[in-house]
Structure 1
Amino acid sequence: MKKTTLLFILFLFLGISCLHLQAQNAYFFPKAEKLNLAIPTPEQFLGYAIGTHHTRHDRVIAYMQELDRLSDRISSEIFGQTYEYRPQILLTITSPANHARLEDIRKAHLQRATQNVADNEPLVIHLGYNVHGNEPSSTEAAMLTAYYLAASESEETLNWLSNLVITLDPVINPDGRDRHTHWANMHKGTPMVADPLDREHNEVWPGGRTNHYWFDLNRDWFLGVHPETRNRMKMFHKWKPYVNTDHHEMGTNSSFYFDPGLPASNNPLVPKNLYENLHIRFAKYFEKGMNDIGSMYFTKEVFDKLYPGYGSSYVNFYGGIGFLFEQASSRGHLQETTTIPLTFAFTIRNQVAASLATIRGSIGERTELIKHRRDFYRISLENARKSPVKGYIFGDSKDENRTNAFVNMLLSHEIECYEVESDQSIEGKKFEKGKSYIVPTEQLNYIMVQSVFENVTKFADSIFYDASTWTLVHAFGLPHAELKTPFAKGKQVTETKVKVPAKVEKSNYAYLIDWTDYYAPKALYHLVNEGAIVQTSFKPFSTAINGKERNFGYGTLVIPVQQQKISADSLFSLLQKVSKAAMIDVFSVSTGYNLSGIDLGSNNVRTVKKPEVLIVIGAGINAYEVGEVWHLLDQRIGMPITKLELVNLGRANLSKYTTIVMVGGGFGGGGYNSIDEGTKNRLKSWLASGGTLITFKGAAEWAIKQGLTKEKLKEEKKDEKDKKDPKITRIDFDKAAPTEGAKGINGAIFEIDLDITHPIGFGYTNRKLPIYRNGVTMLEPSTNPYNTIGQYTANPRISGYISNDNLKKLANSAAILVSGEGAGRVILFSDNPNFRGTWYGTNKLFLNALFLGSLISAPNVEGGEHED
């Protein structure tokens, strides 16, 4: 072939490529002016047009780092990694001049929040993308947005870069994103298949929405359970942006949503200026951005701002403003809708338009943003000074680890916390020096203090997109009290609290571990896993420790020295290792003769079996609740758990397992209803042989309905008049949502009375326990008086919304039941004791069921020794 022909073909190829790139740029940036050709587009770097393929996380990282390499407007940093070791990257985008003095800008920006200084310094805003892994359009949009900011030479863009510092997180949930990316790409057809029933558009359980442990990271800003969130929160507080975006996807037949949201669901603690002024001002920019590309959209109908833990609301509690964007999802590359097919590229384009509109709005409303933050902190302090509550005191002297976890959560939100100077007794509760803390209300983060400590029982609406309360002090189950008079503050806590256990002294007789410690189950598992024989006390006692009497309660672990399969030296070495790893104290005793209560050789001291646990997973089962169990055992206890697909339950050798866990499965049982008769009979035989079945919520309903237990669901009672003359009351059609929504319990906190003498209640020292409920499973108290371990009180609501009808039904119902079935038992929880990995206060209920379940037998009410 002639050289001229080769050159012609080359120029033709380049020309077609340039036209294609111009077309792509015109689609995503219809009003783009000059673009620097030295900056590669995502398509040039990746090798495919954006919207035709889902981009893997590692390629996203590589592209962002390439922009950092080529552009003096962009710097990148890896600020953490996920459970699956994927890096978390943050871009900082601003002018070269601003990059040269970035730290000075950051300090001035923070100072400006409370002082009339630095008004001319650049404004800091944050763009955040893809918190739900299977809502992928926003990460593709993040690459395009970063490209545009690096390549555009327009006067507008140069103005943005001079007057803003833009931080950008392209993938908030890398693990979930890659799970979905792999699914979408491996099922993509050529030509693409738009049929909604195609496998590409229907991920298998649990899907890519969640992180490695199947948690929703969009709820984790307030809780800080996972490394992805904790790392991100550090970056948030380093910069404290004025604006924070949160890009999502919703149903395929929706359009595009931007704030303002549902007015009745605005958080009452946040100044109204945010909702009634700033949201409206910014909506004009979003409106124009969508109008310019002809996209349909809606506002004000759904999506709440109540919960502080969303990516679009957390910043609202620090004087900034968060924006939620929801884009109809193609759930793949192309999907049919009620109008025309929805392309992946179209979903990306809307997210790009929203990103650029946010930047325009931040520039245009700069003065309002600065004023809002200053007013926010000024008003917060004024309200704090007016409040009759001057502070909160909290702490559990019996459980330093649980108390520390709460303190560390407060520090992650930059809430001021101080040590208690001296022992105090308030409202009948004792708070010990060194084990208790005070949070004053008069501090800059007063609104966050209110969110953590205050109960909420009044609401403008009965429909909640998420929880109706999140009072975290209850989640940790900590004794606490309001302080309404002046108080002395001790030393401020500024560093993460970590318990340092006392040195383990060698004993030739026995060792004791107090079961009240949150991490005592971790110690127990590691001891029995290493071959140690461990016993638990079913009665309290006191003994001398270092010459002083010390009380030990129900559940205390007793580790004898002589009755072991390992040597005394090996046992001592193991206990030293376990004490350090679990951060628990191990007490050495030289006698089994106690000062009071039972002695160590009593029949009330029983040997614990190593649990072998299986959890049933799969379609129709609540993946969040499965993940919460998995995370608790993996990350806090260090204990493996077998995750068995529901479809394989019938083939499993159940005799391998001491315990089977079945979490919520939807109303009435959900996915468990697919279990066939043969498998149900095998479960019954396994129970009769001594197995322990632990059920939550819908799984408890299923177990009752299938006859695995004799316990009963609480049925709604109708009076005689209703039976004789039933009437249907007419309700207007548009009242259906609030009427039916009020019948649910979407998330509220209630009080139960707990039998702390029962193995399920071991380790608790107070019978009154706050518990979280987000379902309508209600259990009748058992006919056996010893089987109702937890019961809702007569007036159980502590915080959150519940209809009057549900409140009446819930009162005095059973929260936890244990039913003997042959040599085994079924443990029924009407609720989820592990909610979102944050309910430290009720985790022990589940762990007790797991570790001590095989030891539970109920007294026979008819005079026999026990009922198995």
Structure 2
Amino acid sequence: MKKLFTFVFCFGNFFYSFAQNNYFFPKKQLNSSIPTPEQFLGYPIGSHHTRHDKLVEYMRELDRVSDRVSVQKIGETNEHREQIIVTISSPENIKRLEEIRKEHLTITDPSKPMPDTKKAPAIVWLGYNVHGNEPSGGEASILTAYYLTASQDPEALNWLNDAVILMEPVINPDGRDRHSHWANMHKGDPMVADANDREHNEIWPGGRTNHYWFDLNRDWYLAVNVESRNRLAFYHQWLPNVVTDFHEMGTNASHFFEPTKENAENPLVPKFVYKDLNSRFAKHFEQAMNEIGSLYYTKESFDNFYPGYGSSYPDLEGGLGLLFEQASSRGHVQESQNGDLTFGFTIRNQLVNALATVRASLIDKEILLNHQRNFFIETISQGQKFATKAYIIGDANDQGRNRAFWDLLLQHNIEFYHLPNDITENGQNFKKGKAVLIPSAQPQFLMVRSIFDRPTTFADSLFYDASAWNLALAYGLPHTEIKGNFQKGDRITKTDLKVNQAIFSKSEYAYLIEWTDYFAPKALNQLLDNQILTKTSFKKFSIDGKDYGYGTLLISVQKQQLNSEELYQKLKQISLNTGVSINAVSTGFSTTGIDLGSNSFQTVKKPQALMLVGGGVTSSEAGEIWHLLDTKIGMPITKVEIYNFARLNINRYNTIVLVGGNYSALDKASTQKLKAWVANGGTLITQKTGSEWVIKQEIVKEKLREAKIDSSRNKTRIAYEDIQATEGAKQTGGAIFDAELDISSPIGFGYTNKKIAIYRNNNTVLERSVGAANSVLVYTANPRITGYVHQESLKRISNSAAINISYEGSGRVILFSDDPNFRGTWFGTNKLFLNALFFGSNISLGGQFGAEEE
């Protein structure tokens, strides 16, 4: 062990005097006509962080000089960086890639003959750098591509004959470049290993996440971000046998490879994957790491529960997902308990395991190919035998949310169908065209189960991530099971996602827009952008034989800056842009409820919104709001660094958002400034620990429901090694709960069902507000729907408030105990936040505006 530490230290000091190939590829036969990374880039790998564009250029150079390589662009990120796949194989295989792809897909289709597994190549996907500030994988991809292109070793040549290697060098280009610029910008000469140096401590939000501050390693299943959607489209064209996911972890760790923690396996995945395939591959990783003297560990941490990791999604698609975690230098060299840890050392560990993955894949090629065929045979059989023969899902009042869900199903290549007619099942009514049918008997049955399953019992109480991921609940769509026979209509394809503009006639009186559609806020934003006077209804009514609910938008033809024809044309364009239906009416007299001239219609003010970001603020929550408003609403939000708040004129804003985080950077004067702004009529929206902060700073008079002190703590001893498991089990890592919504409140506008599913992954619990109508969303007495929650936590959550409205002076604070925009996929609760944003200034202590006189 002492020799290893000495070598690591020496490497940190003298790495750049070594010949790169001797360090990374000792005793390998390499074609000198293939440019090495150092020759092309101008520096040795490990001495500098490679910009994404230079990495892409090198891959394209390999494509240019070698007939073993083909580079394909699969999309662009939000910041217009290329997403590429580098395909590496023998020249003969490269020439017939499309033929190989089609033949490989027959393995996944039990109705077609099985190809000869001795001749069929294995499909190996090497994925790197999903977290931007875990760059060793991206650098290792450069070396891996170079070796596979230049190698003349017999073993490597056999690999190329028997495999098609699909390499995604950087899964998160935007985050990688954010981190690379930081590390390069602060690199010293000589390099600084001190962990306190600025190089090793990125400023907020850091390079881990993508443009919108999303963690892309949670997004394979959710398919929210453009990077994931581009990848999934390509992934399902190939359905690879093996997929790697190269990560980094804390500097003082060593190196991790699978198997993961015991009892941390997705119960839907065949045990063969974890017990047999993982073990087979682990032997090769063990050998590779032993040969270079690197420390490693297995089985102690990480899990395969959540289906949205790069290392778990393939397990549900007939492949083998493999996680690697390398201790991070977070820069070029950093002190660690194992000696100075250099960037080059971390890269080499990733490199040898990438090559070991290819080696293992080819040694067990026939086992992998047969597993994939058997997987789909067994999956379809399971679906046929499953008690639930199909699921029906859809909201008759919200076609926007329906289409979003359909789009998600298509991302995962799930078969689903239109209803042949209206259906009543288990007491629920589903409309043709507004709901779909998803059969269980299909190749993607396990993914279908993941979307609808509601597990409540688990072998372990500690979770690396979520313990619940029911997407039917996330989208908030009515759904039920079919246990018997069913009929289905046409299969749904991408053409069904096209928005057909609803034709409506011109009115000289008024137009109405129902608030039930998911994209109604987008339509409202466009109305306000065009300075079209718009009101919202605080009561129900019926007109021309049609019922309208809370939140219905009213656009009268009079009192507008546009004439009637201009208004009509603008409304048609807004309807086309958003897919939202608009109804023309010729009278203001209702058959039931309020008339259109009632004071129960209130004018909507355009939100001028500000969100505090920066040090201490939870970047993922801020990014979710930014992403929601950018991509779903088309509305800007001003993002202000927390340290600028003291000198900022906040009176130009009518809405301020505080997501979860630590707001200790706001001093007493800033806190009083915020409090005065609320009292003068502002709307403050808070969530999670942001809600805790405004309570503790006495900006509001609400209370937190504190955890009870465990009186048995001093009586019952706990072994030191069990402390983490005991205390960690009390954290709510991610479960789904039931709550009841006041749909007559502006926060509840657009909802037609009082019961709503909420995602919770925190321990912020709000007491019910003193005001009778102030707690607009309340957890039920027995709220857990699915996922793990400790019994003590469950008791605290039961009957607590999920949303409170606190009235302070002329303004109000809307407190969320949870994150209604979690990971960009909680369509079912997005509108709660959007209602707070658009209607917050309309909410008053008196409820209804406009006093009536006699």
Q: Same fold (TM over 0.5)?
A: yes
Shift of 1:147: 0.4
State the AA in 2 paired with 1:600: L
Cα drift, residue 263 of structure 1: 1.9
1:48-96 CA distance string (max 9 Å, x none) = 0110000001100100000000000001111100000011111111111
Of residues 778, 797, 817 in structure 2, which corresponds to 1:830? Answer: 817
CA contact (8 A) 2:16 2:47 kept: no
Check if 1:843 corresponds to 2:830: yes
**AA paired with 2:628?**
L
- SS of residue paired to 1:35: coil
> Residues of 1 paired with 2:543 and 2:359: CA distance?
70
Q: Deviations over 1:157-206 (max 9, x none)?
A: 11001000000010110000000010000100000000000000000000
1:632 maps to 628
Give the drift of 1:372. 1.5
C-alpha deviations, 1:220-265, integer Å up to 9, x for none? 0001111111000011101110000000000001111111101211
Give how far 1:30 is off: 2.0
Which shows bigger deviation, 208-217 or 568-577? Answer: 568-577
Instruction: Report the 3-state secondary structure (helix = DSSP H, G, I; strand = E; otherwise coil) of the residue aligned with 1:197.
Output: coil
Q: Secondary structure at the match of 2:611?
A: strand
Q: Single out whichever of 692-701 and 558-567 deviates more from structure 2.
A: 558-567
Unpaired runs of 5+ in structure 1? 1-18
Aligned to 1:9: none
Tell me the secondary structure at the aligned position of residue 472 of structure 2: helix
For 2:525, the equivalent position in structure 1 comes to 525
Separation in 2, partners of 1:561, 1:824: 31
> 1:551 maps to which residue?
547
Q: What is the alpha-carbon distance in structure 2 between the residues aligned to residue 812 and residue 391 of structure 1?
A: 34
* Matched residue, 2:509: 509
Residue number in structure 2 paired with 1:601: 597
Q: 2:696 corresponds to which residue? A: 705
Q: Which amino acid aligns with 2:114?
A: N
Aligned to 1:610: 606
In the TM superposition, residue 339 of structure 1 has moved relative to its aligned partner by 2.6
Is 1:170 paired with 2:161?
no
The corresponding residue for 2:302 is 303
Is the 8 Å Cα contact of residues 401 and 499 (structure 1) preserved in structure 2? no
- Contact 1:561 1:571 (8 Å CA) reproduced: yes
What one-letter code is carried by the residue in structure 2 that aligns with 1:772? Y
2:19 maps to: 23
1-structure distance, mates of 2:178, 2:16: 30
Q: Does residue 753 of structure 1 match 2:730?
A: no
Q: List per-residue Cα deviations over 1:754-774 (Å, max 9, x = no partner).
A: 000000000000000001000
Q: Is the 8 A contact 2:688 2:819 kept in 1?
A: yes
Aligned to 2:240, what secondary structure does the other structure show? Answer: coil
Of stretches 39-48 and 704-713 in structure 1, the one that deviates more from structure 2 is 704-713
Q: Is the 8 A contact 2:624 2:823 kept in 1?
A: yes
The Cα shift of 1:857 comes to 1.3
Pairing partner for 2:794 from 807, 811, 834: 807
Deviations 1:839-868 (A, max 9, x none): 00000000000000000013499xx999xx
Could you list the per-position Cα deviations for residues 438-482 of structure 1 after superposition, in whole angstroms to 9, with x for gaps in the alignment? 100011111111001111111000000000010000000000001
Q: Are 1:85 and 2:86 counterparts?
A: no
Structure 1 distance, partners of 2:148, 2:707, is: 60
- Contact 1:773/1:831 (<8 A) preserved: yes
Task: From 86, 105, 118, give the equivalent of 2:116.
Answer: 118
Matching residue of 1:581: 577
Give the TM-score normalised by the residue count of structure 2: 0.96
Tell me what 1:773 maps to: 760
Q: Can you list the C-alpha shifts for 1:269-293, whole angstroms capped at 9, x where unaligned?
A: 0000000000000000101111111
* 523-532 or 199-208: bigger deviation: 523-532
Matched-pair contact (CA < 8 Å) for 1:402–1:476: yes
1:535 touches 1:608 (CA, 8 Å); kept in 2?
A: yes
SS across alignment from 2:285: helix
Q: Who is 1:786 aligned against?
A: 773
Show the counterpart of 1:41. 36
Moved beyond 3 Å, runs of 4+: 19-22, 716-719, 725-728
Hey, what does 1:273 align to over in structure 2?
A: 272
Q: How far off is 1:792 after superposition? A: 0.3
Residues 719-742 of structure 1: CA deviation (Å, up to 9, x unaligned): 9xx5xx984421111111210111
> Distance in 2 between the 1:842 and 1:31 partners?
58
Q: Distance in 2 between matches of 1:830 and 1:396?
A: 26
User: What is the aligned partner in structure 2 of residue 7 from structure 1?
Assistant: none
SS at match of 1:220: helix
Matching of residues 221-260 of structure 1 within 5 Å: 221-260=220-259
For residue 676 of structure 1, what is the aligned residue in structure 2? 667
The structural deviation recorded for 1:649 is 1.0
Q: Is the CA contact (8 Å cut-off) linking 1:535 and 1:559 kept in structure 2?
A: yes
Residues 556-612 of structure 1: CA distance to partner in whole angstroms, max 9, x if unpaired? 000011021332232222211111111111111111111211110000000000000
Q: Deviations over 1:94-120 (max 9, x none)?
A: 111111211111111111233432322
Structure 1 position 22, deviation (Å): 8.0
- Determine the C-alpha separation between the residues in 2 that align with 1:758 and 1:42: 62
Which residue type is aligned with residue 529 of structure 1? D
Distance 1:531 1:395, change over 3 A: same
- Alignment deviations for residues 619-652 of structure 1 (CA, whole Å, 9 cap, x no partner): 1111000000000001110001000111111111
Aligned partner of residue 392 in structure 2, secondary structure: strand
**Does the alignment pair 1:685 with 2:645?**
no
User: Which of 644, 647, 650 does residue 646 from structure 2 map onto?
Assistant: 650
Task: Name 2:6's counterpart in structure 1.
Answer: none
Task: Indicate the percent of aligned positions where both proteins have the same amino acid.
Answer: 55
Gaps (5+ residues) in structure 2? 1-14
Alignment correspondent of 1:567? 563
- Give 1:808 deviation, angstroms: 1.2
Q: What amino acid is the match of 1:773?
A: R
| Alignment-derived partner of residue 12 in structure 1 | none
Supply the distance in 1 between the matched residues of 2:530 and 2:847 (Cα, whole angstroms).
36
C-alpha distance in 2 between matches for 1:193 and 1:571: 64
Compute the displacement of 1:21 (Å): 9.9
Looking at structure 2, the residues matched to 161 and 747 of structure 1 have their Cα atoms a distance apart, in angstroms, of 43
**One-letter amino acid matched to 1:29:** F
CA contact (8 A) 1:401 1:498 kept: no
Secondary structure (helix, strand or coil) at the match of 1:265 reads coil
**Structure 2 equivalent of residue 11 of structure 1:** none
- Which residue in the other structure is 1:217 paired with? 216
- Asked whether the 8 Å contact 2:417–2:489 carries over to 1, the reply is yes
- Choose from 95, 115, 129 the match for 2:90: 95
Instruction: Give, in angstroms, the shift of residue 20 of structure 1.
Output: 8.4
Q: Which amino acid is the alignment partner of residue 404 of structure 2?
A: A
Q: Cα RMSD (Å) of the superposition?
A: 1.6
Query: Partners in 1 of 2:674 and 2:570 — Cα distance?
Result: 37
Q: Supply the AA of the counterpart residue of 2:387.
A: P
For residues 737 and 459 of structure 2, what CA distance do their matches in structure 1 show? 20
Shift of 1:501: 2.6
Residue 494 (structure 1) shift: 2.0
Q: Deviations over 1:783-830 (max 9, x none)?
A: 111101000001111110001111111110000000111000000000
Counterpart CA distance in 2 for 1:329 and 1:358 is 21
TM-score (norm 1): 0.94
Residues 92 and 538 of structure 1, relative CA distance in 2, 3 Å threshold: same
Q: Could you say which residue in structure 2 is the equivalent of 1:411?
A: 410
**1:376 matched residue in structure 2:** 375
Q: Letter of the 1:643 partner, please give it.
A: K
**CA shift at 1:674, angstroms?**
2.7
Structure 2 partner of 1:15: none
Q: Which amino acid aligns with 1:851?
A: F
**Contact 1:141 1:351 (8 Å CA) reproduced:** yes
Q: State the match for 1:16 in structure 2.
A: none
In structure 2, distance between residues paired with 1:860 and 1:291: 70
CA distance in 1, matches of 2:321, 2:126: 10
Distance 2:627 2:428 in 1: 32
Map of 1:454 onto structure 2: 453
Tell whether the 8 Å contact from 1:52 to 1:345 is kept in structure 2 after alignment: yes
